[in-house]
Every structure is written in structure tokens, then in C-alpha cells.
Amino acid sequence: MNALRTLWQVTAAWAVTAGIGVPLIALMLCSFGRLREGIGRAGIRTWGKALLRIGGVELVVEGAEHLAGRRARIVTFNHISTLDSFIVNALLPDGGMPVAARSRLPIFGQILVLGPILVLDKGGGPRSRAAMKKTAARIRDEALSILIAPEGTRRGEDKPSRFKLGAFELARVTGAPIVPMVIMGAERLMPYGALTTRPGRLEIRILPPIPSDGFTTDNLRDQADALHERYRVELGLSEPPGR
């Protein structure tokens, strides 16, 4: 039964990816990029919802109003499972732009290049700083919502790793608030390294925006650690303050 489920999910996922991705790539190429915002974002959102449906995953979203409307914001999410990518894309807000690592997989790699997806250089140095500066300008000028996992790459742990500072630096430079998205229990339905998803219901908590007015280069680590602890509390890994 597990083998049949794996075959069904993998086959259906690639069929949907090709069915959505190939026409999407063609449209963006033929329009010379003019359709990447509207059509591209709708295609990515549809892809995320379709993959969740194939896996039998239902989302229960609390605090969706914090992603309503198009405005500059940095949306952070905890990243433990491959399922997180489907969730983030399914909930992509107006003006949303997920952050992704480069990929050489067919269809995925082309969409990363052509679609409304931010591929950041993780290497550091002048190139990375220039890309960060360009991204910050786009966030302000185009009212983009950047969706980023401050942990970086998932590590197969059941708790958030220590947050990196990229998301907080973007918030500091742009003045955009941070909107935490807490994904509850994705690793239960799709553990690290699994190829298939167990059916079930997931709770997504979108917390109120955190203003970045007080962010400075000197306190970014403190800001990151404070948000990390907030995630641990929401995930039931730490006691709330005052207890």
C-alpha cells in the first residue's frame, strides 16, 4: 500500500508540475517577462495548492488578515519539511515572492529563473551584498512580500535551528515589518527525507507584524534570537515568558 501511495503521489506531483510549469514557462518566455507577475504568481499558487491536494493535506490558517493586501513585508516561516514549500506557495499573498535556492531540476530550475521567485546568492561577498541591495530596493518600490526561512536549508530536526540574519537585514534596510508564519507539524505529515505526504490537517499561524523601526546593525542578532524563541513558544518547545 505504501509503495502504491508513493508511486501515485510522485507520478501525480510530476504530472501536475509539468502541466502547470511547462505552459507557465512558455507564457513567460513569449511575453518577454511581462506576465511573470500576474500569471507567474497565480501559477505558483495553483501549483502549491495542487500538491497539497495530491497529498491529502488540508490547511487551517489563523491570522490570514496579516497577509491581506499588497504591501512591503518580510514573511518568515519555519522550515523542517519539503511540505513547507507547497504551503508557502499555496498561501502566496498579492505581491508575494518566495526565496529559493538554485535548482537544476527540469521545470523547477526554469521557473526559478523566469518566475516571480527570489533566488539569493548565499555565497556572501560583494556579489551577495549587491543582490541584497537590489532586493531591498524592489521590496520598497514594488511593495513585495518576501517569504523566507530564516533557518536556511531544512536540517531534519524537529525544532527551528538558530536563525540567520538575512531576513532581519532586509527588514532593517527596507523598513518593512516582519510577519512570522508558524507552520505547525509539517514534519509529522512529511518527515525529513520522505518522498510522500501523509494525509492530514495542518495549522498555520500567521502572527501580527513586528515593526522593524528599532532594528539596527548592532541588535539584529538579538532580534533574530527573540523571534526564534517566539517560534519555539508557538511550537510548544519553550514555556511562554512569565511562567
For residues 98-124, give the mean pLDDT: 59
Residue 76 has pLDDT above 60, yes or no: yes
Residue 108 has pLDDT above 70, yes or no: no
User: Does residue 89 contact residue 183 with C-beta atoms inside 8 Å?
Assistant: no
CA-to-CA dists, residue 122 to 9, 125, 165, 227, angstroms: 32, 9, 12, 22
Residue 179: DSSP 8-state: E
Q: How does residue 242 score in pLDDT terms, banded at 50, 70 and 90? A: low
User: Does residue 66 contact residue 55 with C-beta atoms inside 8 Å?
Assistant: no
Residue 124 has pLDDT above 70, yes or no: no
SS3 assignment, position 157: coil
CA-to-CA dists, residue 2 to 178, 187, 189, angstroms: 40, 18, 14
Q: For 131-163, what is each residue's pLDDT tens digit?
A: 778 888 889 999 999 999 998 766 555 678 889
CA-to-CA dists, residue 108 to 18, 61, 86, 118, 204, angstroms: 9, 27, 13, 13, 25
Q: How does residue 7 score in pLDDT terms, banded at 50, 70 and 90? A: confident
For each of the domains in the chain, give its residue range(s) and CATH number, in order of start: 2-234 (3.40.1130.10)
User: Does residue 227 contact residue 182 with C-beta atoms inside 8 Å?
Assistant: no
